[in-house]
Structure formats: C-alpha cells, structure tokens
Amino acid sequence: MPARAHDHLPAAARLGVLGWPVAHSRSPAMQNAALAELGLSDWRYQLLPVPPEAFAQTVRALGASGLRGANVTIPHKEAALAVATTATDRARAIGAANTLTFGADGAIHADNTDAPGFLAALPAPPAPGGTALVLGAGGSARAVVHALVEAGVDVAVWNRTAARAAALTGDLGGRAVAAARPADLLVNCTAVGLGQASTGFEELPLTADSIGTYATVVDLVYRPGGTPFLDAAQAAGCSVVDALEMLVQQGALSLEAWTGLPAPIRVMRDVVRRDLPIAPHEPRPSPSATRGRTGPSNGGGARP
C-alpha cells in the first residue's frame, strides 16, 4: 500500500491563533477547512484569546501541553518574537512574528509569513528595480517593506508620523518620503479605511482622483463590503489586491510550515470569501510553488 502524503504526521494535533481580542478571526474556519481537505481529520485549529500580560507564560504552557503551532495577531506579534527560542532572519529583521512552531523541550520557533504572504498575494512577483509606495510604518508595513526590499524593489515609505517612516527605512531599507510619489505598486498599510465612516483617504497623502497612476494597488485593511481605497483603485482601472488575499496566503504558508504539505489555497480562499464578494482578481498558485518546492498546485492564493 503506498504511503500517504501525511503518514509522517501525528494522527491528531492542535493549532490556533493567539490574539486579544481574537473572536473576529477568520483563521479557524479557513485553517480547519484546509486541514479537512488535507485529510488531517483529527487536527484542530482554535481561537486562543490571551491578554498581553499573560502572553509569554501562556505560550510556553501551550507549547508544553503539546500545541503544534500558532498564528499570532494583534497585539502580540512583537511579544511572539521575544518568547521564541529560535527565529528566521526575516522575523528578526521585521521585529515581529506571526507564526510559532513548537518543538520538544520547550523549543519555540518564530517566523513571519506576512512578508512572503504579501508577495504571494500580488498578481505577479514584483520586478527587481520596480518601484513601490508603502503607506504606513506599523507592524504590517515592516513586513511589506522587508518583502519588497528583499525582492529588489525601490521602496518609498510615507507615514503620518514621519519619524516612524524614517526609523523603519533606517532598519529595513527603502527611503522615507514626505509626500506621495509615482510608483508601480501602492500598498496601504495604515489603519485608514477600517471604520465604516472612513472615506478611505482622510489622512493619506493622495486622493481617489490620483490613485489611478499606480498600476497595482494593495489594501491591507479589511472591512465588510470592501474599502473605499480599493473601490477607488478598482474604479480607476488599477489591478487590485485585497486584505483577504494576504490573509489566505500568510495562513497557507503557516499551515505548510506545521504540516510540510502544500496548502489547499482554493479551499482556504473559498472559506474566507464566503458571503464576501469583494475585489476578485486572478488566482495565483500555492505559495509553496513560488518558493520552488515540489507538490501539487492548488489553484489560485486580513488579519489572521
């Protein structure tokens, strides 16, 4: 009888998402559907609400209790890197982790799949020598800037608080700018657009009328019904990528780290987008394919 792809894996395992609050997270539905699709019928992915003051102690205890892996969301991504015993170079460079993998004897390995998940969500890999304008200088901007600089893109970073953009580019590369400038790619990594009352542009250095100069526009903000920022980009004829696509791609990379199996991207996307018909775009292959790994492509790939 031929060995199945997951014969090397335990029959049952626990995964989850650490956040505070975290009840809104789409990751359990997305990851449990993926586990079922992979035939890991006794694996479970659950919400792990943990307040900041209990984070390190709880994470160590969860690892000791046999948790296999966890995604990490607001406000714990920096604390997740701090509690890890080992970390990837990109998590260290970004200064934050969104994926923890637990091993024997208290080992906790940290990675940041927001950065490669962002690249995988783009309609095409960014061309070395291409240009990007990143809005924001918080945690998600750090992951995006790191990914783009590593890909050889000339990155400009604008932030409402200019000193934070200067600090970010000092750490990661790119250059801080005081005003919007033309680029191939525009990425909104600010929280603008989150509230239902937001116009999507109120404190940003560009307007709905000027957004059409960017060929590709990405909005990391998710809001039911779509964001005004991405609506304006779509109306202007830009190629658009929404926050849900990055959610899917970063989650797929985390799942692949915990299982060693190619993530069923299409299933994950279908679950995340169920009843949320916003900003469709051309699917891309599994992120494992973009990393040069072998394995079947599963068809085309917000906050965890």
For the bound state, the minimum distance from the C-beta of residue 273 to ligand NAP, rounded and expressed in Å, comes to 13
Asked if 164 is part of the footprint of ligand NAP (rule: CB under 6 A), the reply reads: yes
Residue 300 in tokens: 């085309």
For the bound state, the minimum distance from the C-beta of residue 157 to ligand NAP, rounded and expressed in Å, comes to 9
239 DSSP β-pair partners: 216
102 DSSP β-pair partners: 108
Can you tell me the distance from the alpha carbon of 97 to that of 103, in angstroms, rounded to the nearest whole number?
A: 17
Query: Which residue, 126 or 139, is less far from ligand NAP as judged by CB?
Result: 139
Residue 191 in tokens: 């929280």
Catalytic residue set: 77
Contact segment (CB under 6 A) with ligand NAP among 23-31, 59-67, 80-88, 153-161 equals 153-161
x/- string (CB under 6 A) for ligand NAP, residues 230-249? -------------x--xx--
Can you tell me the distance from the alpha carbon of 133 to that of 184, in angstroms, rounded to the nearest whole number?
A: 8
Query: Which residue, 137 or 183, is less far from ligand NAP as judged by CB?
Result: 137
Query: Which residue, 131 or 190, is less far from ligand NAP as judged by CB?
Result: 190
**Pick from 140, 166, 172, 180: which is nearest to 153 by CA?**
172
The one among 42, 191, 209, 291 contacting ligand NAP by CB under 6 A? 191
24-83: which residues touch ligand NAP (CB under 6 A)? none
Cis peptide, bond prior to residue 75, ω within 30 of zero: yes
Asked if 264 is part of the footprint of ligand NAP (rule: CB under 6 A), the reply reads: no
The one among 41, 57, 161, 207 contacting ligand NAP by CB under 6 A? 161
For residues 275 and 241, is the Cβ–Cβ distance under 8 A? no
Can you tell me the distance from the alpha carbon of 168 to that of 165, in angstroms, rounded to the nearest whole number?
A: 5
For residues 108 and 62, is the Cβ–Cβ distance under 8 A? no
74-133: which residues touch ligand NAP (CB under 6 A)? 114
Binding residues for ligand NAP, how many (CB under 6 A)? 25
Give the strands of the sheet with 131-135, arranged side by side: 175-176, 154-158, 131-135, 185-188, 216-219, 239-241
Query: Which residue, 250 or 288, is less far from ligand NAP as judged by CB?
Result: 250
What residues make contact with ligand NAP under the rule CB under 6 A?
114, 136-141, 159-161, 164, 189-192, 194, 203, 220-221, 243, 246-247, 250, 302-303
